[in-house]
Structure 1
């Protein structure tokens, strides 16, 4: 399993798709706008996405979309509004896939509530996919996933051949079911450390802030 240090940036048309359309029901307030560092939670994810060097960055918004656009600097992002955000994460993936440039070779899924995500991991996922494709020809994998010390997690990367299946997903955890169904198409990137936290509850938020304070 390759490590981050063994891979170099890829040379293909790539996109980042940031999933930030949730209604934050468990938080009771828009978690995209929770204070984090010198800005807000979603701002930290957007900063990581900008560091990835994507050719296109798509931001899927739904719940609190107006407030997010008024508050967060979305410069450089193509906004994909998801009116069906209540149907789960898959509806935001479908909205984002529809907004991709037609020549996109691969897309990286990033969670809008995962501020600890590493740009290096996203870049390395893409390189892993393209390197595997160059060596495997017609049997090239279509999916790359991060393998942390405590399990598999985001970001995830998908080549163009997977776009139709991504767009057809339904439900909140469907992308993980897709990974199970297409296990032969999955390659893993070894990422040292534990999985970056995503914020769904107040306790998650406290843990993320504690991690930020510990890193400073």
Structure 2
């Protein structure tokens, strides 16, 4: 039997640089997190885990979380590593690992996700290699779950990526790293890119 494929979507952040809950920013006829989750749902995962923290009640009231495994991270202020640690306990026991995605990055392509799963399943860690560098989604193999549980801070998972050396599985993606929204400038760039794609049928 094929092992189930799990996604972990990080959406617990406090949006400190933005100054308002980025999960609820209007985007693509819904919210930023809603659009991201709609995209993830279309990618055929057997399980989708989403972590919430800041503004969790408002997010739950305005974003469709039906069918998802929702994990509340009360320690979200310590960084996204705490959300990863909280989420991995809920990954299906039969899964080889999980695909890590960002709740503020709605532009991840299904082809990138599928290529990553195909290449990295069974490996400890994997990432997408875009034209402008490495980026999400990441593959986190079950064998590194104990390490993930001990991480601290916002960029700790990147330390595992950097330390993996030749053990890091990468897949090439034809395009730049999809925009993730941390600031108002990021949000404006995302809206401008989306408007461009809507008019022309392609990304910049």
For the aligned pair, the TM-score class normalised by the smaller chain equals: over 0.9
The answer to whether structure 1 residue 45 and structure 2 residue 36 are counterparts is yes
Deviation at 1:71, TM superposition (A): 0.2
Deviation per CA, 1:123-169, whole angstroms, max 9, x where unpaired?
A: 21111113xx5xxxxxxx31110000000000101221121111221
In 2, Cα distance between the equivalents of 1:58 and 1:166?
Answer: 16
Residues 1-216 of structure 1: pairs in structure 2 closer than 5 A: 11-130=2-121, 133=122, 141-216=123-198
- In the superposition, the TM-score normalised over structure 2's length comes to 0.93
Deviation at 1:75, TM superposition (A): 1.2
Equivalent residues of 1:143, 1:185 under 8 A apart = yes
Q: How many residues get paired?
A: 197
Deviation at 1:99, TM superposition (A): 1.5
Q: Which moved more, 1:56-65 or 1:121-130?
A: 121-130
Deviation at 1:45, TM superposition (A): 1.0
**SS across alignment from 1:194:** coil
Aligned CA-pair RMSD: 1.1
Equivalent residues of 2:116, 2:126 under 8 A apart = yes
Gaps of 5+ in 1: 1-10, 134-140
Deviation per CA, 1:160-186, whole angstroms, max 9, x where unpaired?
A: 112111122111100000112222321
Deviation at 1:29, TM superposition (A): 0.7
Match of 1:138 in 2: none
Equivalent residues of 1:125, 1:145 under 8 A apart = yes
In 2, Cα distance between the equivalents of 1:167 and 1:184?
Answer: 23
**SS across alignment from 1:116:** coil
Q: Does 1 or 2 have the higher relative contact order (CA < 8 Å, sep 6+)? A: 1
- In the superposition, the TM-score normalised over structure 1's length comes to 0.88
